Structure 1
Amino acid sequence: MHTRLRSLTLLASLVLCMPALAAAPNEAVAKPVKTVVQSVRLSKDDLALKQLADEEMGRFLLGDDWAKATEAQRKEFTKLFHSLFAKIAFPKVRENFKNLQSITYDPPTVEGDKGNVSSLVIINHPMKKQEMKLKYAVVKDGSAWKVLDVFVLGDSMLTGIRDDQVRPIFQQGGWDHLLDMMRKKEAELSKK
């Protein structure tokens, strides 16, 4: 689990290591991506986390079990997920900002309450230049757009988290076990 978590953290850090989007035809669709990126760059993690589509992420990660949870369980899951994501991924994102060369974006595409923002990220590591194609999935949440997922070369960050971490832990003991494991990991990371 830790190896996969590290891989997902690296993926998330590369996904988020970019400057703000250039003006796009549908700025409202691109806005949450820009806010996440700038907030992480400026160490304003709470603002970045507010741009995530919490309900949609929860439904995706836990499927039918999301609706079966109590309101308190869903809130605690979201809080712990945010904390773990910020403590694991965001410091690596900030580190990768040092190697960012450029980013180019395609205009956002929108279909109903769902949208996508595609980009090409060029990371200029001291030993190797790297080009990554990214696609951000955003969803409309009320009147605002929120970031739901990131795809790198077609691979979904949320699918990896769901299949390699959340679902296996949940299947071992349901909501109580999942939240307990998340609390323990969060406490471990808080000590560092």
Structure 2
Amino acid sequence: MVEDSINIAEPGFYHPGSKRIGTTNGLYQEDFTLLRHSPFPSRLFVTALLALVFALPATAGETPQEMLRAVTEEMVTRLQNEKDALQERPERLFTLVEDTLVPYVDQEAMSRLVLGVAWRRATPEQRERFTKEFKTLLVRFYTSALLDNPDQIDRLLEKGQDLITFRPGGEARGNRIQVRAEAHPPEGPSVPVIFSLYQKEGQWLIYDVKVEGVSIVVNYRNSFSSQVKQFGLSEVINRLAKRNQELWEKTVENGQS
């Protein structure tokens, strides 16, 4: 069980020291949108980086740092190989990310954490649907940061292996660890990033990422909590599915224009 692996109910699991941002009235104006649409190039750079970090599979037997370092190397290679194809069919980036997302990020664990009490009250069908649509939202929302700003791909490739550096060691607690890193944008100061991982069957899986103290899980949790109370879980899932379809159609249309 996921709960046994990472002890979801444990106080402090949601990192209360995180920078919390107020919830919004719109389901799709997520708190973490500030990273995508911030005027600061460094935040846009890190968002693009996260989209690609989420795209790559983990390898069993590696330390978290080794795994994440290998991700960076593979990311540069994949971007280089896919660059021309993405110009003609940008939606291919969604497929590339989604095809390799599941073995690397524990989507069910993230979904449990994001929904909290609503997850425990949800039916098996609602849990399955939310996990699927939330995964799709993460893939398409953050990946579209690259597609909205094509020059980010070139800038990422220019940085090469210097995209991000990982600090040795890490803050371990049982089968969980936080790996601290610094992303290095082409312009501006370095940006602190913290990857939260836990070990499951010998493999390290990401369940949260913080950028400048902003936690993906905590901020989505804040947004979805208010929306579930207002509309109910089934309607929230339906709106997620609609938004995901809109993101796909917009990307395909942009590729054809």
TM-score normalised over the length of structure 1 = 0.78
Kindly provide the CA deviation profile for residues 61-97 of structure 1, in whole angstroms up to 9, marking residues without a partner as x.
1112212212221111111111111112124257534
Q: Equivalent residue for 1:21?
A: none
Q: Could you say which residue in structure 1 is the equivalent of 2:136? A: 83
Structure 2 Cα separation of the partners of residues 148 and 35 of structure 1: 18
Contact 2:191 2:212 in 1 (8 A): yes
Change (3 A) 1:56 1:12: farther
- Determine which structure has more spread, i.e. the larger CA radius of gyration: 2
Preserved CA contact (<8 Å) 2:51 2:142: no
1:180 matched residue in structure 2: 238
C-alpha deviation, 1:36, in angstroms = 6.0
Query: What amino acid is aligned across from residue 247 of structure 2 in structure 1?
Result: L
8 A Cα contact 2:32 2:216, kept in partner: no
Larger proportion of strand: 1
Per-residue deviation, 1:13: 2.8
**1:107 aligned residue:** 168
Kept after mapping to 1: 8 A contact 2:183/2:192: yes
Give the superposed CA RMSD: 2.8
Q: Percent identity?
A: 22
Structure 1: any 5+ residue segments left out of the alignment?
A: 19-25
SS at match of 2:184: strand
SS across alignment from 1:52: coil
In the TM superposition, 1:64-83 aligns within 5 A as: 64-83=117-136
Residue matched to 2:218: 159
Measure, in 2, the Cα distance between the counterparts of 1:32 and 1:49.
16
Structure 2 unpaired stretches of 5+: 1-25, 37-43, 54-60, 83-92, 251-257
Contact 1:32 1:146 in 2 (8 A): no
Structure with more relative contact order (C-alpha pairs < 8 Å, separation 6 or more): 2
The 8 Å contact of residues 58 and 78 in structure 1, kept in 2 or not, is answered as yes
SS in 2 for 1:107: coil
